Amino acid sequence: MEGVVVFGVPLDPDEREDVVMMKNDPKLRSSIRVKDPYTAVSERLSFKKELIGSAPVEPWLTPFPPDEMLFMCTVENYVTFIDCDGCWEYAMAIKDSMGDLVGDRRSLMIAVDHSAACASMIRSSEAYGKEDCGIIIFDSHFDGILPSYRCGLIQHDIDTNPNSPFDPDDPFIFGRSESFNADSFLFKLIDEKYVLPENVMVVGVSDYPSAKAEKLGDERVSRYIDFYHGYEERGVTVIPKERLRANPRLFDMGKLDVGNLHVSIDVDVGSRMALHGARFIDYKGLSEREIFNLLGGIRTSGKRIVSADISEIDVWKAGRMFSGKKDRTYEIASKMGNALFL
């Protein structure tokens, strides 16, 4: 069997204030052993492969910026990077470099920010033809929501929820550009026709609009819901976590009329169930058993996995103790890679 090219993309422009404070905390910094998820995951992979290291990323944009770059690590700087489409520039640079590094071989990307995975998605769609290349995304969040829609939901929560975790004085929940980022990348992929919507399947989402939300009548919520459902109207298959649990047959590979696949795994699809080392753990995801049953279904479908990514691993949480048990994110991520390519 041909070898798989394995590489990392340690891009982490996380703008959340608590994350920025953590990166600047000397005590926490001294406790971090793994500074790039690629190193911890790649060494555990069992299939035939070529490890080519991680793509170059500006040091202040990595999960563990060096001491001399901490002056750059501010909320304002990360917001500026995202709003100026820095994530898109990185994705395109990585895609362009993959031509020489990967060639016609299969590939596995170990990324932090999920937007970087678009490099592989676009490359595979170009190499194999978007008509014959499907995109399967495992994720607790639907990553096709533009900032204005997501910020509208946050503003609604502030206005109506006395226990809202959001700060009404946060200047960065207003007037954001409609940038390409980890929350919105599907919009650009589909809107600019890099991939066909009918060839995209998003599995395990926990943020699917509820019947209760549909009845709220708030313009900001309605706008978000209409935007979300608009993807389904264009042909994207969205399988919410609870519906999947009620009927596992909803994960039907026959819905994708393609011969080739890119499989994208945001590890938060298993957050607080299979693992705790994801950047976002606001939802309880799928169990380890549920995840690997789904991955097994891909392998037995007869479709060829030409590329994959495992994204959103948080080096600040992965491998730590949670409720008396050591987190297994790195182990599970490597098992995911093996399930796809072994």
The pLDDT value recorded for residue 84 is 98
How many CA within 13 A on the CB side of residue 7? 22
Nearest to 158 by CA among 206, 223, 221, 217: 221
Confidence of residue 4 (pLDDT cuts 50, 70, 90): very high
- What's the CA gap between 342 and 338, in Å, rounded? 5
Q: Which helix (H) or strand (E) holds 289?
A: helix 288-299
How many CA within 13 A on the CB side of residue 142? 28
Residue ranges covered by each domain of the chain: 4-341
pLDDT, tens digit, 9 for 90 and up, residues 34-43: 999 999 999 9
Confidence of residue 217 (pLDDT cuts 50, 70, 90): confident
Q: Is the pTM of this model over 0.85?
A: yes
* Crossing angle (nearest 10°) for helices 118-128 and 86-102: 50
Residues in the chain: 342
Q: Which residues on adjacent β-strands are paired with residue 108?
A: 6, 308
Q: Which of 44-48, 98-102, 225-229, 283-287 has the lowest mean pLDDT?
A: 98-102
- What's the CA gap between 108 and 4, in Å, rounded? 7
The stretch 135-150 carries a mean pLDDT of: 98
Q: What tokens appear for 237 in the block?
A: 């298959």
CATH level 2 (architecture), domain 4-341: 3-Layer(aba) Sandwich (3.40)
- What's the CA gap between 200 and 219, in Å, rounded? 28
Q: Which residues on adjacent β-strands are paired with residue 304?
A: 260
Confidence of residue 1 (pLDDT cuts 50, 70, 90): very low
- What's the CA gap between 141 and 185, in Å, rounded? 12
What is the torsion angle, in degrees rounded to the nearest 10, for the CA atoms of residue 46, residue 51, residue 55 and residue 60?
Answer: 60
Q: What residues contact residue 342 under an 8 Å CB cut-off, 6+ apart?
A: 46, 47
CA angle 112, 146, 231 (to 5 degrees): 100
The pLDDT value recorded for residue 171 is 86
pLDDT, tens digit, 9 for 90 and up, residues 60-115: 999 999 999 999 999 999 999 999 999 999 999 999 999 889 999 999 999 999 99
